[in-house]
Each structure stands twice: as structure tokens, then as C-alpha cells.
Structure 1
Amino acid sequence: MRLLLPAVEIVQQNDVHLYLTKLNVKQIKDLINSKQLIPDTYNPDINIQRGYQRTLDKNRMRKILNFLESRYKIVLNVMPTSIVLSVRKSNTEPIKFNNGQLIIGDDATLFVVDGQHRVWGIKEHRDVKYEVPTTIIYGLNEHQEAAQFLVINSTQKKVDPSLQLRVLFYAEEKLMMNLIKEIKNVIPWQSWKLEALKIAIELENDPENPWYKKVKQPNDPSGEWKPIKEGSFVDSFRYMCSENNPISHVPMDKKAAHLKNYWNTIRKLWTKPFEDDYVYDYILMAPFGAGVFNTLFPSVLTLRDITDLSFEELLKPIAKKYPTRSWSRRKGELSKLGGGHKTYNNTAERFLITINRNFDYTNSREYERIRARAPHNLKWLVDKAYDMLSPLKLRSAENLKNERGKHKRACYVLANLKDNMDLQVYVGQSKTIEKRLGGHGKKFNLYYVESCEDDQEMNQLEGTLWHLVKKDVRANENHPNVKFCPFCT
């Protein structure tokens, strides 16, 4: 296939030529079909072992296509980033440039250096005239091309969008809410950031809240110390703003209002770490404290609603077991735990068990025993069951309506906290999950549910859950009636 493209030529060192041009969907499709446009995918065959890119991910390609065919008012389907192609050195002249025109010969092969998923996602776009900026490099050999791929993908720095998001935050409320809805459809794995930033800014701007003037915002003077950067503060809300968290049904403005009361209560129970003269000496306002308490927040809010206890009544046991000295930056026991979301999650779970010891219903020894003896292809199942039993995942049974239509087949965990805070745990499976959970709703007021791929996974997961719940709190009298339990031996 021969192409004539308008282009700008840039000659760089070592006689490497760059051509800035554009390709439309039809041209991309034709080049792929004629096998002139290819990704240099790694081939593990010992006799070949060529290529430097990973195999194409169909899921990523589909996401790009969905984005291109979206019709949103704020998040427009624009792709301004150039795809990078390479025409390797050759004894022939596969491409020629003359008077602003780039001629790609029918013997030219263009290797995708950067943007292979964009290229193959664009290929399926219905609008054949849709154009994308393209950079074509001429003059590299295969090894230089691979090195360029490494440089591009190793040195690109992710841009912190905080400043741009702040512009939207201070715009109309309706605009911000519409953007959050659109982002959830376009890049759902990143949508939590918008809600998290909105909540973070509300806390930062409230003079009555402990976080007022305690968060280092973008473009603050570099020499000015504050206990936490805004990026870390926003990240501490990751779990409570994720799509599948216990309070995902709570409107954003109400979450922010509850959080303000929650953090005011924390300041009341641990006063010294919030005082200006001592804030540096403790980690309660550092990323660790924010990460732990914001991870714990959905569970505390849920417990407040089903027990009628106040935030202060629920958090007092934690303050008693982990007093101010536990938060000391130099000698506190909590400062030795490190950081990161896994640590925040584990510590929040420990705090939840401190609120009510009955939340310690998972048999960790049994988990270790079962996982150690599980076949390699079933270890993931044991991990999934163990993860499902985290008390941080439990949500109010009043929100069962939110599960409608989500699960074709699933396993569930039910818990009862009605009677003097004593707990019972029941595990089960169902193909009509909303109906089954609704039937249990009168006895159990907390639940968690996860979908299963097929009947086999559902049966095995239910049996595994049963084994991992401690006997003294397990409401199931008998082992689930499943055809095969890999851990009953």
C-alpha cells in the first residue's frame, strides 16, 4: 500500500529523521491489513526471541474504542498524544520526503514504538475519517528502536492533575458532578480521584476542621512544611471513594459532612497530635494517620447507623488501646508499621476489631493451613475467600437494593450485630442473590457479596468461606451442601 501524507521533517543527531504527520482510521486499518503496520511483539520461541513489546491487551483496546465512540459534553473523545512509528534503516528507500509530502512506499514497514493499544483501538472506530497525530521515525535499527521504546516508557512522568481538578472544583457544582459521572464511564479505575479531591478540598477549606491549613497544596511555597501533601491526602480517600465500598451509596456532600464530624471527633480523642506545636512529633496527621482513619471511616459510619452509637462512642476503644504515645513519630508502636494501602487496610481492620472484638471472626490459622496445602491453581480461591471475610467490607443490609442486577451467581457473607453487639456470621451462595439476601435481611444487618465466574467457583468459594469462619461465630451449623470441597479431607 502506498501513502502520500502531509508532513513536517525534523532532522536530529545521527541522521535520524522525524516526520510529524497524521493518519486517519481508514489509513491505519489499510496499513494493518496490508501488514505494513505492526507492533514488534516479543516472541518467546527460543529459536526466535525477537520483539520488545507485550502482547496486545484486548481489554485496553476495547476501552480506547469505547472512549472514541463516547459522546460526553465535558470529557471529549479527543486523542492529542502522538503515536510513534518507526521505519527501520534499509538499503532501499521505503519512505521519501519532498516539498512537505511524505511518501510511504508499498514496501515500507512501520513498527509501533509507542501507542500500540491506541492504534488497534482506533482501527475499529466507526468514523473512518477520525485522525490521530503521528510521529514517524526513520533511521533507527531494531535495537535502537527498542531502546527508544524503553526511554519513552521509562521517562514519561505522570502529571498530577490536582491544579486542573481544582479549576473544576471551583466551577459550578453541576459541572463537577457531571464530570465525575463521565469519568466513571471513560476511565472508571481513576474516577475515585475526582470525588476524593472534592472531599479533600472541602476538609482543607473548613476552618472548623482539623485539616484546615494542614495540607500542602499544589504551588504552596516549597520551604513551607505541612504534615501531609495534598496528593497523599487525596490518596487516603481511595478506598472510601472507590466504586465498591460499603458507603458508595452515600451522596458525596453527605460523605464530606460525616467526615468533618468524624475528624473533629478524632481530634477530640487525640488532642495533642493536632496542635501546631506538636503536629510534627506524631503521625496522626501524616499519610499514615489519614490513610488508616479514612480507610476505617466507611465501617465506622455503617456501625453508627446500625447501632445508634456516636462516632465518639465507637472510637473511644481505639483511643484507649492506642493512646497519643502510640502515634509518636519516634517511639510510637504505630510508627513502626510503615506505610502504603496494605498497611492502612491491615491497621484499619485491627482498629475495627478493637471497636468490637467479635469482628475477629476469620480463622487466620485455618487460612494459612488451607492455603499451604491448596493446589497451585486454587490458592487464588483461598485468597479471595479470605479477602471477602474482611470486616471492612461489610455494609448495611438496608442497601441490598444496590445489588439488584449486578450478580448472575455469587457468594455472600452475612453478619448480625443486632443483639448487644454480639456477632454471628453466615456464608452462602445464590444465583438469585437479591432475593436470597432479602430473605436473610430480617436476621442479619450486614453483608458482603462477590460475583463468581461459574458454578464450580461458586461451590468451591462457598466451602472455603465456611472453613475460614471461626466456629464460635459461624451461623451455618453444617458444611454447605456442595458437590466438591477441595479442603474437606
Structure 2
Amino acid sequence: MTIYKLEVVRTVQKNQEIFTGFLTKELAKSLTFCDHYPPAPNRLGYQRPPEKKRAVDFAAYLNKNPAGFVTPILLNARQKLDFIPTNPDILSPFGSIYIKEGHNLSIIDGQHRTIGILDYFEHGIDIPFLLFNCLDTEYEQDLFITINREQKKVSMSHVHFVGHKNDMLSELVIRLESDPDSPWYHNVNLVGARGTKRPVSLQSLRASLQELLQSGEVKMLDIEKQYQLAVDFWNVVAEVWPEAWQATRNSLLKKAMGTLAVSKLGSYLIPLVLNRETGVIDQERLRVYLKRAENVNWMSDGDFKGYSSRYASDMVKAKLDSLIFASRGV
């Protein structure tokens, strides 16, 4: 019977021995298994069966993303392992463990990363691990449930915030939030955090700007002019509906639904008030259009009570259209 030697670092948490180290692809294929449903002999079957797409996607992530690295997988040795310190004469965490051949290491977390590397990633790469030495299987299952139950996806606002240098719309939103001359100054939740008391997220305002700046004339402008156009537009909006804009609670105007509805309206109005030579909008003409709807009640118990979805923004925009353009022409 083959016995494999792994160089590791040893530590102890709550009297539980833990090792960290690396597995080659060959050793990972030989030693690890995922205890998924349906249970096999001497298995518990407590995990979901692996999904090929997730494994393939992870392999593609490693292959194409310069920042694509393998994070440690979480393992449990179902049989007790012996640890031999490198230097038995001194107290040291460095040493080796010896593992019998066979699938003896249960993957608690990281089955898709492991499968992606073993089956779909063609290059050689070592897999880092954190390995419990014979953790009770009840604790193993509980740890799996805890990891997956508490796992939260990163919000798209946070994604756009981190990648804003490669995304013009996210860059514009961040500038709107940080510019004291912007009506959105300190009013945007840039990373999707809870409890910020800011009415709109980066993701939502980004989607609104995408609508607002969608006309061909605007897309031809450089980023500085597009930014100033956005500032001027929202300044006029804030002037026309001051109560709703200044309200810190219960106003739909600065919520995702309201900003999207107004931006959809703005995408039609801006070409009507844009000076194509200077790339600047006529704020007074824009104000004239919007003031035709100045009596709209944007509060949560007002004209759009209960409206909250993207579809609802189309209904709000239709209401604004009827007030601004009905029997008036342009």
C-alpha cells in the first residue's frame, strides 16, 4: 500500500488539530472525495451532487483572469493522521503528515474548485488546503451547513465599485457621489452595505445613468461633458421636486424605481434641450418641461404608492409623459 508524505504547518483550535499545505493535482485526485448525495458505502451523502457548469466556469476563471487564484479548500481526514515535526528537538509547527492511498480526505468546502482543476484545467497547479485531522463527522456536516447557509453574494454595487476604473458609468456614479457640487453628493451607497441610510445604490444609479445617457448625441460627448450633463440634469430634477429630493425618508424620487423612471424620461428630453455645438443642456428649457409635472407626489403614500419594480418605472414614466407632453406638443 502506498503512503503519501505531505509537508504541512500544524496548528490547534479548540483542541482540534489542523494542517495547512498544498496538494498536487495528482494527489488531490488520489486522496480527496466529496461526500455528496446519494450516499455510497461508508459515506454520509450530505452534500449536493456537483454541477459541471460551476466546475467548468471555475477552470475558465483560472485560465482567463490574471487575478484568478485558487483559494484553500477545506478538508477533513476521516482517519487519524500522524504528524512528524521537521525538527523533533524544538517546538515547531512545521512537519509532515502521512496518508494512506485511497480517498480518505473529505472535501467540506471547495468541491467545484477541486473538480474544475482536476477535470477541466489543463495546466499544472497546486491546490492549497486547510485539513482537519479526524474531525467528528457530525461537526463536519455542521460546518458544511454553516458555510453554505451564511454565504452571501457580493452585491453588484460592490462589484462595480471595485471595477470602476474599467467602467465609465460606474466612474460617473462615484464622481456624482463624491462631488460637493453634485445633487447626489453623499447620497449613493457605493458598495451595497446595509444601514447606510443612502437612498440609492451604485448599481441602481448606474442603471439610471445608462438610460439617461443613451441617445446617440450624448454618447458622442466625452466623459467630462457627459458628467456635467448628468449633474445639470439632476440639479434641475432636484429644483422641480425639492420636497421629494430633500426628504430623507419615504421619498420614491431618489429610490431605484424613481431614478430609473426620471432617467427614462430624461433620455427623451435631453436631445430636445441639448446644444450640439457645446454639448451642454439648456437647463431652463429642461425646467420648463419638468415643471409641467411639478405637482406629482413622489412620497411613498403619494401618486406612486406601492410602486417598486423596474416595470413600475415604465408606468411612472408613462404618467410623467402624459403630464409633460399631452396636448402641449414639444
Return the TM-score normalized by structure 1. Answer: 0.50
User: How many angstroms does 1:131 deviate by?
Assistant: 2.1
The one of 113, 123, 127 aligned to 1:127: 123
Cα distance between partner residues in 2 of 1:226 and 1:127: 44
CA 1:300–1:257: 2 relative to 1, 3 Å: farther
Letter matched to residue 83 of structure 1:
I
1:247-266 pair list within 5 angstroms: 247=214, 250=219, 253=223, 256-266=227-237
Asked whether 1:145 is paired with 2:145, we answer no
User: How many angstroms does 1:197 deviate by?
Assistant: 4.4
Query: Do the aligned residues in 2 keep the contact of 1:196 with 1:237 (CA within 8 Å)?
Result: no
Asked whether 1:233 is paired with 2:224, we answer no
- Correspondence for 2:175: 202
User: How many angstroms does 1:284 deviate by?
Assistant: 4.7
Asked whether 1:4 is paired with 2:41, we answer no
Cα distance between partner residues in 2 of 1:246 and 1:57: 40
Query: Do the aligned residues in 2 keep the contact of 1:200 with 1:233 (CA within 8 Å)?
Result: no
Query: Do the aligned residues in 1 keep the contact of 2:208 with 2:264 (CA within 8 Å)?
Result: no
CA 1:248–1:8: 2 relative to 1, 3 Å: farther
- Secondary structure of 2:201's match? helix
Letter matched to residue 150 of structure 1:
I
Cα distance between partner residues in 2 of 1:265 and 1:239: 20
- Correspondence for 1:110: 105
User: How many angstroms does 1:148 deviate by?
Assistant: 0.8
Alignment RMSD, CA only?
Answer: 4.2
Letter matched to residue 235 of structure 1:
Q
User: How many angstroms does 1:8 deviate by?
Assistant: 1.2
CA 1:260–1:127: 2 relative to 1, 3 Å: same
Query: Do the aligned residues in 2 keep the contact of 1:22 with 1:131 (CA within 8 Å)?
Result: yes
User: How many angstroms does 1:57 deviate by?
Assistant: 2.3
1:388-403 pair list within 5 angstroms: none
The one of 304, 316, 320 aligned to 1:351: 316
- Listed as ranges, the gaps of 5+ residues in structure 2 are 86-94, 275-284, 323-328
- Correspondence for 1:60: 54
Letter matched to residue 261 of structure 1:
D
CA 1:2–1:305: 2 relative to 1, 3 Å: farther
User: How many angstroms does 1:139 deviate by?
Assistant: 2.1
Return the TM-score normalized by structure 2. Answer: 0.71
CA 1:10–1:280: 2 relative to 1, 3 Å: same
User: How many angstroms does 1:268 deviate by?
Assistant: 1.9
- Listed as ranges, the gaps of 5+ residues in structure 1 are 170-175, 181-194, 219-224, 358-419, 422-489
**Alignment: residue pair count:** 296
Deviation string 1:43-68 (CA, Å, 9 cap, x unpaired) is 399xx995232232222222211121
CA 1:227–1:106: 2 relative to 1, 3 Å: closer
Deviation string 1:177-219 (CA, Å, 9 cap, x unpaired) is 2xx5xxxxxxxxxxxxxx664232211233332122445778x
Cα distance between partner residues in 1 of 2:3 and 2:59: 26
User: How many angstroms does 1:156 deviate by?
Assistant: 5.0
Cα distance between partner residues in 1 of 2:62 and 2:3: 27
